[in-house]
């Protein structure tokens, strides 16, 4: 009964491909997030959805598109993958004005 | 804009020794502060948080942190470190917006524990 689960855990693909990462939370939280952790372990927020509405949209290339079919799911689709997209992507969720709970991450490697 | 500085990239301590990890923040209003820990290959786990009230907050795994507004600091402490505490530690400040909260993280401090 994992609280925030991401799939896949590892993703290896070639430049130019399109890929998706899925995230689900069973905590009943209203808000979900995507973060990118680079090779130096720096974490930066990308997007956030509250009850399926986009509330945070940082400076992220248009190739990244989040989708929230319901408040328990937030998926991340990436088009035309580039070498610089290699990173660990974390999904998180929170209740309104409460701390975030993180998934275990998806390690994306671009060949 | 909010920001967080963790001055120490690496810290090595002996098992049983005390620990203090430094964190300084920049934020225009009352800050909401967090410490998270990341073990290798894992996600981030919340150690403790400060929202308001008592400036000394207790967390899980025997950690505590003290909020000092005058120094813009939120340092993490543990009186006796265990080998299992070896991990990456992140300090973060939150800005609440639209029902969620935007976390800005520091660059992290990697803790090594010598047996």
Contacts of B44 (CB under 8 A, 6+ apart): A43, A90, A92, A102, B36, B37, B38, B90
Which structure tokens are listed for A53? 């509405």
B8-63 pLDDT, tens digit per residue, is 999 999 999 999 999 999 987 788 999 999 998 889 999 999 998 899 999 999 99
> Is the Cβ–Cβ distance between B31 and B61 less than 8 Å?
no
Q: Which residues of A touch B96 (CB under 8 A)?
A: 97
Q: What pLDDT is recorded for position A89?
A: 98
* Residue A2 contacts B, CB cutoff 8 Å: no
Residue B7: what pLDDT? 97
Task: Nearest by CB to A45, from B42, B90, B102: name it.
Answer: B102
Nearest by CB to B99, which of A4, A96, A101?
Answer: A96
Q: What is the rounded CA–CA span in Å between residue A109 and residue B109?
A: 24
pLDDT band for position A1 (cuts 50, 70, 90)? low
pLDDT digits (tens, 9 = 90+) for A53-91: 888 888 899 999 999 999 999 999 999 999 999 999 999
CB atoms within 10 A of CB A66: 20
Residues A5-63: pLDDT tens digits? 999 999 999 999 999 999 999 999 999 999 999 999 999 999 999 888 888 888 899 99
3-class SS at A106?
strand
pLDDT at A98 over 70: yes
Pairwise CB contact (< 8 Å): B36 & A102: yes
Handedness of CA B88, B109, B63, B43 (dihedral sign): negative
Backbone angles phi, psi at A27, to 5 degrees: -95, -5
Residue predicted with more confidence, B91 or B53: B91
What local confidence, expressed as pLDDT, does residue A59 receive? 83
Residue of B45, B98, B103 lying closest to A55 (CB–CB): B98
């Amino acid at each position: 009964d994992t609280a925030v689960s991401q799939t896949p855990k590892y993703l290896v693909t070639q430049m130019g491909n399109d890929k998706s990462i899925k995230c689900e939370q069973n905590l009943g939280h209203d808000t979900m997030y995507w973060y990118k952790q680079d090779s130096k372990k720096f974490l930066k927020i990308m997007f956030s959805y509250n009850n399926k509405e986009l509330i945070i949209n940082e400076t992220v290339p248009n190739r990244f598109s989040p989708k929230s079919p319901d408040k328990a799911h937030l998926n991340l689709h990436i088009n035309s993958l580039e070498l610089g997209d290699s990173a660990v992507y974390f999904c998180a969720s929170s209740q309104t004005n409460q701390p975030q709970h993180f998934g275990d991450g998806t390690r994306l490697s671009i060949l | 804009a909010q920001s967080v500085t963790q001055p120490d990239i690496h810290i090595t301590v002996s098992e049983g020794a005390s620990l203090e990890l430094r964190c300084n923040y920049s934020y225009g209003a009352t800050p909401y502060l967090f410490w998270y820990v990341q073990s290798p290959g894992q996600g981030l786990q919340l150690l403790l948080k400060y929202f308001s009230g008592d400036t000394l907050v207790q967390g899980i795994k025997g950690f505590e942190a003290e909020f000092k507004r005058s120094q813009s600091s939120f340092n993490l402490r543990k009186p006796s470190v265990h080998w299992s505490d070896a991990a990456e530690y992140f300090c973060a400040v939150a800005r609440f917006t639209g029902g969620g909260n935007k976390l800005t993280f520091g660059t992290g401090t990697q803790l090594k524990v010598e047996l």
